[in-house]
Amino acid sequence: MTTVLTNIRPIDDQLSEFHALIAGTCLARTDLVPAARDADVVLDGRGKIATPGFVNAHTHLPMVLLRGLAEDVPLRTWLETIVWPIERRMSPADVYQCTLLGLAESIRAGVTCVCDMYFATHEIARAVEEAGLRAVLSYGIVADSLDNGGREELAKTAELLEQWNGAAGGRIRVAVAPHSVYTVGQDVWEKAIQLADDHGALIHTHLCETRAEVEEWKQKTGETPIATLNRIGAFSVPLLAAHCVHVDPSDIEILAQHNVRVAHCPKSNAKLGSGIAPVAAMLDAGIPVAIGTDGAASNNRLDVLEETRFACFLQRAAAEEPTALPARDALRLAIENGRTAVGLSDVPFADHSPADVVLIGTDSVHAVPSDDPAATLMYASASTDVADVVVDGTLLMRDGELLTIDEEKAKQDVKSLRRRITD
């Protein structure tokens, strides 16, 4: 199939419009308007804004099953009385079904890469392989020592690395995911670091999400969670830390020194009352802060654009600073920093770059009039304006229609499962 991209207008005003063909999984830029009549598919970017897609740097896709189920309760109640009991009842097949719905929502929101941590990760990988996105997938390791479950937990990740790292033509990579410093013992952490190092894999973990978690850790150990991870060598490998809400200046210095990537999840942190992460300070220190939605049980959307708008406005409101995170800088969190966070190092939209292209319409009544593309996206667009999504050269959505997922079936399956599991 020949796919032609014409009049593609990148979010950066300084980048000019371009045309391209899709050659395999890559873009082939061309100076001339390609001959549309010879193409099977023509994506015309006129009146649209083009991005290489948003990265959801921290999520738990299958949790769409729990959307709206446990509202307005404290974090611990939420986990113990609702989330965990339901998760214990989810079969691998359930995880697969729920992942498909989460991926459908992600594609519709212009997300081209997800960084997920959950269980039954083989099933998540299978869904991602079919749906066509990029993903960094992991199994959340919880074990207080190697002898008490740690070896078995690590073995699951080793198996995932074996089977799925680099799968789907390189679209899928596997990360090593000790759940957090307080749910995983030091000996397990050390083996996890070793495992990541052996495979050149990313470590993906939760870090400093709530004030209570950090205070308890400091009382117990006399150091911050970040100081502990630093001491045991966790930052000697590439590490993506979700949340980082309660970090002090010395923590920020450690994160910056070791090139730790942060997945900022502002809506989840707000909804669960965890607080406001010092994003401006982390960015100033040079930390690549990306955007994560967390799971749909604590958000309740997998909408990276809405998440980024919230991140931007939250920082400005808290600092009373109208020039904090200008539109293009805010979008950088969701795009460039997201790519850095998950290890996508190529330059988007260059000749021979992987063909990841998202076209977002600007003609909705809420986006008119539109001049500056970054301001339009950041302040006015809705994820429902996303029209076309190409990942790795394959069309996943065209004119608002999903092409790789049977959306109606995905919705019905999860609705049925929800009825069954909450009965």
HSE-up (13 A, CA, CB side) for residue 252: 18
Residue 403 lies near a copy of itself (rule: CB under 8 A): no
CB of 317 to a copy of itself, least distance (A): 4
Asked if the bond preceding 300 is cis, omega within 30° of 0, the reply is yes
Phi, psi torsion values for 291, nearest 5 degrees: -115, 130
Beta bridge mates, 28: 21
Kindly indicate which of the ranges 26-34, 159-167, 227-235, 307-315 contains the residues binding a copy of itself, using the contact rule CB under 8 A: 307-315
Q: Is the dihedral of CA 84, 88, 94, 100 positive or negative?
A: positive
Residue 379 lies near a copy of itself (rule: CB under 8 A): yes
- Binders of a copy of itself among residues 52 to 71 (CB under 8 A) are 64-65, 67-69, 71
If the CB atoms of residues 215 and 346 are measured against a copy of itself, the closer one turns out to be 215
If the CB atoms of residues 33 and 212 are measured against a copy of itself, the closer one turns out to be 212
Contact partners, residue 161, CB within 8 Å, separation at least 6: 174, 176, 195, 199, 201
CB of 412 to a copy of itself, least distance (A): 9
Residue 281 lies near a copy of itself (rule: CB under 8 A): no
Residue with token string 């079969």: 91
- Binders of a copy of itself among residues 202 to 241 (CB under 8 A) are 211
User: Which position among 220, 409, 415, 420 is part of the footprint of a copy of itself (CB under 8 A)?
Assistant: 415
Q: What is the residue-wise DSSP string for 359-371?
A: EEE--STTT-S--
Kindly indicate which of the ranges 25-33, 249-257, 351-359, 408-416 contains the residues binding a copy of itself, using the contact rule CB under 8 A: 408-416
Instruction: Please count the residues of the chain.
Output: 423
User: Which position among 74, 166, 169, 170 is part of the footprint of a copy of itself (CB under 8 A)?
Assistant: 74
The closest of 423, 76, 355 to 216, measured between CA atoms, is 76
Count of residues in contact with a copy of itself, rule CB under 8 A:
71
Kindly indicate which of the ranges 10-18, 103-111, 220-228, 387-395 contains the residues binding a copy of itself, using the contact rule CB under 8 A: 103-111
CB of 51 to a copy of itself, least distance (A): 17
If the CB atoms of residues 174 and 333 are measured against a copy of itself, the closer one turns out to be 333
User: How many angstroms separate the Cα of 414 from the Cα of each of 124, 135, 396, 408, 417?
Assistant: 15, 21, 21, 10, 5
CB of 378 to a copy of itself, least distance (A): 8
CB of 419 to a copy of itself, least distance (A): 8
CB of 326 to a copy of itself, least distance (A): 4
Q: What is the residue-wise DSSP string for 119-157?
A: SSHHHHHHHHHHH--EEEEEEEE-BSSIIIIIHHHHHHH
Residue 306 lies near a copy of itself (rule: CB under 8 A): yes
User: How many angstroms separate the Cα of 152 from the Cα of each of 118, 155, 163, 206?
Assistant: 16, 5, 17, 20
Beta bridge mates, 206: 180, 242
Residue 105 lies near a copy of itself (rule: CB under 8 A): yes
Number of Cβ atoms within 10 Å of the Cβ of 400: 12
User: Which position among 4, 27, 63, 104 is part of the footprint of a copy of itself (CB under 8 A)?
Assistant: 104
User: Which position among 376, 390, 393, 404 is part of the footprint of a copy of itself (CB under 8 A)?
Assistant: 376
- Binders of a copy of itself among residues 308 to 327 (CB under 8 A) are 310, 313-314, 316-324, 326-327
Site string for a copy of itself, 321-360 (x = CB under 8 A): xxxx-xx---------------------------------
CB-CB contact of 99 with 56 (8 Å) = no
Residue 274 lies near a copy of itself (rule: CB under 8 A): yes
- Binders of a copy of itself among residues 121 to 160 (CB under 8 A) are none
Chain centroid to CA 309 = 15
Cα(148)–Cα(135) distance, integer angstroms: 30
